[in-house]
Amino acid sequence: MIQLRYALVAICGVACAPEVDLALPLIGGTTVPRTVALGASSNADGPLTVASLEDNPYLAGREGDEPRLALLYRASIDDLAWGDGAPIRTLVPVRDATSRLRRPDEVYRRDGDGWAALAPSAEVWQRLQAFRVDWPEDPCGTGDTCFDEAGFCTLCDGAPPTFAPPRPPEPWPAVSCGRGMRVEQITTAALETLTTCAFDDRATPCGPFERATLEGRCAHVGRACTLAADGWADALPADPVFVSTTTTPGDGSRDAPWDLATALRDAPEGATLALATGAYAMEPVGAGRRISIAGPCADLASIAVGAFTGFDLSFQDATVTGVGTWTGTVSVDGVVLTVPQSQLQVELRIRRSLLGRQRIDVVEGSVSLSETEARGAQTVARRSQLDVTESVYLGNVSFLSSRGRITDSGLIQDQDGPNPDACVYAVDSTIALERITALRRTPAALRPAIFTSTGSATRIEVAQFIGFGDTGVDGGGLSDGAIIAIGHGATLSARAIVATRTHPIATLSGGASAQIDGVFGAQMLRSPIIVDAANVEDRTRGEITNAWFERSTVGNGTIFVQGGDIVLSRARLSGNASRGLYISSPTVPATATVSDLEILGGTGAAIEARAASVTIERAAFDSLEGALFWAREGASIVARDVSAQNIKAGIAIDGCRQAPCSGFVARSSTLGQLDLERFSIERVEGPAFLREDPSQIEARDGSVSRATIGVVGLAIDEPGLDWRDDFVRVPFRLTPRASARLVP
């Protein structure tokens, strides 16, 4: 016990006042209290007299107002920042005041000649928590002080918490563009420069004997049409066999040319047949022959090639049309080529040529295209090798159980053109794309992606890929209009992807997985990254590192996960009219693991989770017109090392029972859970924390400053809302704020 002298002051004054010794208990039975607050009302509804037991263990009060309630403190009155140096202070309760009591270490009620301890669950403790004092100079609630789980002002445990800021995205990789491609420079919102390779698309198509180049020019297919007087090319290969449309027997010389059938039969192995102008029909004879055929130019010589087997044929500077099944080896250079619709078992090499509206279907063979324009063509490889380089391809390239590469090329999708399918389609195949530009031309509807792959055996590698130019309408499906759509177990590995003015950059579904290192998206029309899982068995996963997403108007969120898993690290989201991350589990569990995230500006919640699990480490948020975190329908958000400022109110958010309910820093609705540790939140135009039963918010080692409505650790008094105040489990640090209203 500690003895406290208490003088009972009557009319005669202090001089004649009898003294009573109040035998106060020790804290925990062992510790002498250094500060005491005494009240004449045992229900804590009257004034409290605060005294330092170190400086002046002597109090005086009116007779009949003997202390009935005692609040004991281990801390000194100076440590509590309670008073202006005076050893005794009287605190009168004022309903609308803002200053608060410090949390006592123990509370006792007078019981006869002794004292009875009151448990923290007693009603008196709740009344003490609601005790307010009109004391403007009191730093509690306005200074560098803390609140505990019951909402009492208490001593701060050391300095304000410090934490690491998010790491920015790593520098964009340098590029070395192939022939015909140019370096495209992109400046981010943070004035960083990203580079990629691009080609120049033409506004109008080239002529029938011209091919579009990557520089945006029209180049003649093959050699120009310059002829000698006798109708052959003015430049001929060495030692040619001369061929014309003549029916007169000859010997293959310039003066006495053969017809084509004779030349194919009698010319020596490896000979080059030089064609004069005209139209030819070719029915190869024999097998295993190696023959080269060179026309004067594609405009003036055409060859209709029938079925052949086992030939090694080479065509140059002509128009070649296939009319039968080919088996063997075919090389074309400077050719306008149309091949048969039937499946070909060939090794087909195409260079400096033009492919018209046709289908090249190769089975157990190979196809290579270089410096070629495909104008509405469809090239299909079945159990084959398919390679495209330095080409402009309008149409479709399909890999079916095949392998291949597409490099230094432009891919064009035109919904109003002759072949509106995906530019690249892969099933159970292994392919690589590097230094690619993909674009759309005025699509009428957005159904196919530019690049689509499916099948558990599919492996795709993408590097330095740019996609842009989308003016179509939303078709409604998640993958509609995507640059890359990966599904049904396919695997994607990508780096340095750039997309502007498109629908999704990448959609992952049906058990697909993707690793993307380096991605930039601006002015997007839908969520740049979508992860969508159809069922539990088909778990879908995406890993995104070093990402920039800017100035986009998207509905579901910049990152949209609808079942499946997303890992996002070193990402910066700037000026997007959308949520930041929207993670939901409609039927399949969804998770998000986020680290080193910056969100600057946004009209929805920065992180919204519905029945999902989200973990965040190192994140910074600024200028948001919505919630910082929103956990819904059983969702769990765990966040560490978070800073946020300039969080605005006024944007409606689904699920609010009454406006205004946006703009809150953290809101956890039905069954939601939020665990926040090491944080700093400044300038909030709305309540700092809101909670609906039976959800839970836990916050540790953080600071909140300048919150306009409500403050950490207190209930929010909004009409029609039943917010409770028992959700803060461990101390907050509260720093000075502007126009904050503390409401019990």
State both tokens at 89. 């202070």
The number of angstroms, rounded, from the C-alpha of 170 to the middle of its chain's C-alpha atoms is 16
pLDDT at 218: 95
Dist CA 204 CA 693 (whole Å): 63
Read off the amino acid at residue 55. Answer: D
Neighbours of 711 (CB within 10 A): 26
191 pLDDT higher than 90: no
Instruction: Indicate the pLDDT class of residue 741, thresholds 50, 70 and 90.
Output: very low
C-alpha torsion 349→355→360→366, nearest 10: 20
* Top-confidence residue, 369 or 112: 369
Q: What are phi and psi of 7, to 5 degrees?
A: -90, 130
For the residues 11-37, what does the mean pLDDT come to? 70
pLDDT digits (tens, 9 = 90+) for 371-415: 999 988 888 999 999 999 999 998 888 899 999 999 999 988 765
The DSSP 8-state label assigned to residue 53 in this structure reads T
CA distances from 189 to 186, 198, 520, 576, 733 (A): 10, 21, 11, 11, 33
* Top-confidence residue, 512 or 700: 512
pLDDT digits (tens, 9 = 90+) for 201-257: 887 889 999 999 999 999 999 999 999 888 889 888 889 999 999 888 899 999 999
Neighbours of 422 (CB within 10 A): 22
Instruction: Indicate the pLDDT class of residue 726, thresholds 50, 70 and 90.
Output: very low
pLDDT at 474: 44
Highest mean pLDDT among 29-38, 259-268, 449-458, 667-676: 259-268
Lowest mean pLDDT of 96-100, 153-157, 506-510, name the range: 153-157
pLDDT digits (tens, 9 = 90+) for 291-322: 999 999 999 999 998 877 778 889 999 999 88
Dist CA 58 CA 36 (whole Å): 11
Instruction: Indicate the pLDDT class of residue 674, thresholds 50, 70 and 90.
Output: confident
Which residues lie closer than 8 Å to 340 by C-beta, 6 or more apart?
Answer: 322, 323, 324, 325, 326
What's the predicted TM-score (pTM) here?
0.75
Q: Report yes or no: 89 and 35 within 8 Å, Cβ to Cβ.
A: no
For the residues 184-189, what does the mean pLDDT come to? 86
Residue 375, judged by CB atoms within 10 A of its CB (0-12, 13-18, 19+), counts as buried
